[in-house]
Amino acid sequence: MAETVIIHGEAGGVDDRGYPIPGKPDVSLVAKSVQPLSQEEISDMGRDGVKDALRVWVPSGTAINPGDEVTIRGLRYSVVKNGWDWGSARRPRLASHRPSFVFECVRGSG
């Protein structure tokens, strides 16, 4: 089932006079799949206190990095790990094949 993912843009900060600078706009896209993760699957993070973790497949070429904020299913998550881009330097064998970019995100503390 495809789900909507909102990638939140970076904040703009303030200029020299203290006025706010507009940040980058949010980007909305349709994820191919969203999979809940168990705590053991996030190997390089502490497992204490993490409440919710997801692995998300989005279209290849999506620009997302660790530390970015995303909203999935109405909840805000922090991206902790870029997985891999299956479509990097590849040409699909079939026209119907759409490679994906995979990342993991968590919400909560720990």
- The string of pLDDT tens digits covering residues 71-85 is 998 999 988 877 666
More confident call, 9 vs 7 = 7
Provide the whole-model pTM. Answer: 0.72
What is the spatial distance between Cα 30 and Cα 62, in angstroms, rounded to a whole number? 11
Q: How many domains does the chain have?
A: 1
Domain enclosing residue 72, as ranges: 3-11+20-108
Summary mean pLDDT of the chain: 79
> What SS3 state is found at 48?
coil
Q: Assign residue 44 the CATH number of its domain.
A: 2.40.10
Query: What does the pLDDT read at residue 51?
Result: 72
Closest CA to 68 of 100, 36, 27, 98: 27
